[in-house]
Chain A
């Protein structure tokens, strides 16, 4: 299992467009990707669940990644978050 924390810096939060891109990226990995915000968990491969977290600027998220390509997935997802959100 791999894990990383991220605090959203984008002013708009995880709105539709980046959520779509994040889901697209998560789906390229075989690993299971969970996003946790304030104790609520969402499957990062499901756009409604992800948007339903209502992550805004300043929201603290933890990503929990489990599966065969978890190391690579963790790196790529963290990079995506830093560059886009």
Chain B
């Protein structure tokens, strides 16, 4: 058994034969031509044919791997039409009186070189796109075509790197894994592997030799290793691991689209916690029923000055539209303590966890807060947004927030700017808010219990301090009673209640939470399906 290692792009175990991918090396001959006009006509015809091939590839990719992955072939069509690219080809044909194949190859070298020299890794990887369309043109010009066939049985593809048109022409049922010597995490092979959900390694030190072809091998995607000619014991171990993974994956897949409901019919909403727009896709993939906590801090932390109303509006609107009618709970600015922004000019504090943070900043700097509220209300016209305020300790704070919200609403109405009024709720993350929960519930539409801070404030334990680990119990009965009390008080006032801290994902507590009457659990996207599984296995009555 020989082991080669690479960089993991996607996890999973694949067991099968290696198939060494041989790129067809089409050697390009420089041929002198007599009639440049005729040669350019030949080039134009080839371009038309290449564009038609790309159109077919686009349609095929659209069906098999979705719009996002198919888009590259539309871009390739545009690249074929690029003015500079075409000018360069024509120049070479006319001034050097050479064949179109040679002109295309020279142009490809120049353009690919330009991308390869760029600083950005993503742009560097685009050199492959230039080569890809150029190879396609050359194949059409020289009449070699490019049908790609792999063997009949599914194989592990081993290649230097694969061009997008090569990856899409592969029969997806026949590919177990990708192992490439080069390539980057942004390369199409990597993107495709993630979409197909099959193991993939890049930057692997495996030799691309003919004699590797057909050898039995195991790819451990997560571990970043390929084992060639493994012995029986090892194979058995990997087969077992593969079976476990498959079972888990299949089980979770079957839960997509299913309701999160207990055996005896109690329904709970399973939402996702996200920190930026980029996390939305993970939420969707894992079948989130809504967004339970969209932390708006990134807008402030990634910025060098206060984000404008327009910038914020676009972000919130995108989130609302992406979730298409599902609830998106956006938490207003929660900086201070561990999350700081220089441009706020906040004084250093002795005890930031108990300092000027969250809603306290918003109520001190009302102009900053109102900008955010206006953006949120405007975005509410485009979907089901709910707004949630952090770090509340008193009814007075909530009333003050509602006054400011009303001011923002009136301004928008007076300006004639379209807006909607979202549901409004508060985070329950201080013991004070728990004790006042009955009164607070009268003021708002919903509660969301932030267990991370609530635990820290209830137990008086700094979670960042490892020396306190021995004293720290995340399931401390005091915290659980706080949650139960909050839920009971909320329901007395017809206010619904969710949990959005780490504790929400703890499946040992799911049954207890449901018994308390928690209406919604918001967890990281990857925890949604396991949690749905747990809910569907839970029986509340008679136990």
- Chain A interface (Cβ < 8 Å from any Cβ of B): 9, 11-13, 15-17, 19-20, 23-24, 43, 45-49, 51-52, 54, 56, 82-83
Contact = CB atoms under 8 A, between A and B. Distances in A.
Interface size class of B (residues with CB under 8 A): 20 to 34
B74 interface: yes
A19 B82 CA distance: 12
Given A17-B71, A46-B83, A48-B85, A56 B120 contact: yes
22 contacts: A11-B278, A15-B122, A15-B123, A16-B129, A17-B71, A17-B75, A20-B71, A20-B74, A20-B75, A20-B78, A46-B84, A47-B82, A48-B79, A48-B82, A48-B84, A48-B111, A48-B114, A49-B82, A51-B123, A52-B115, A82-B310, A82-B314
B315 to A, nearest CB: 9
B72 interface: yes
Nearest to B74: A20
B81 to A, nearest CB: 8
Contact of B83 (A20, A24, A43): A43
Given A16-B75, A17-B75, A48-B111, A83 B314 contact: yes
Contacts of A48: 79, 82, 84-85, 111, 114, 130
B44 interface: no
A47 B122 contact: no
A52 B120 CA distance: 11
Given A15-B122, A52-B114, A46 B82 contact: yes
B311 interface: yes
A18 B434 CA distance: 47
Given A15-B123, A46-B83, 12 more contacts: A9-B311, A16-B72, A19-B75, A20-B71, A20-B74, A24-B78, A43-B84, A46-B84, A48-B111, A52-B118, A54-B120, A82-B310
Q: Chain B interface secondary structure, helix, strand, loop or mixed?
A: helix
Interface string B63-90: 0000000011011001100111100000
B119 A54 contact: yes
A82 B119 CA distance: 25
Contacts, number: 55
B300 to A, nearest CB: 14
Interface string B96-114: 0000000000000001001
B370 interface: no
A11 to B, nearest CB: 7
Contacts of A13: 120, 122
A26 B474 CA distance: 56
A49 B72 contact: no
B438 interface: no
Interface string B116-132: 00111011001001100
B83 A45 contact: yes
Interface of B: 71-72, 74-75, 78-79, 82-85, 111, 114-115, 118-120, 122-123, 126, 129-130, 278, 310-311, 314
B257 to A, nearest CB: 28
Nearest to B80: A47
Contacts of A24: 78
A54 B314 contact: no
B82 A16 contact: no
B79 A47 contact: yes
B397 to A, nearest CB: 32
Contacts of A23: 78
Contacts of A20: 71, 74-75, 78
A30 to B, nearest CB: 15
A23 B83 CA distance: 11
Contacts of B84: 43, 46, 48-49
A67 B439 CA distance: 64
B120 A47 contact: no
Nearest to B68: A17
A7 to B, nearest CB: 10
Nearest to B114: A52
Nearest to B129: A16
Contacts of A47: 75, 78-79, 82
Contacts of A49: 82, 84
Contacts of B314: 82-83
A43 B122 CA distance: 21
A54 B525 CA distance: 32
Contacts of A12: 122
B458 to A, nearest CB: 37
Contacts of B126: 16, 51
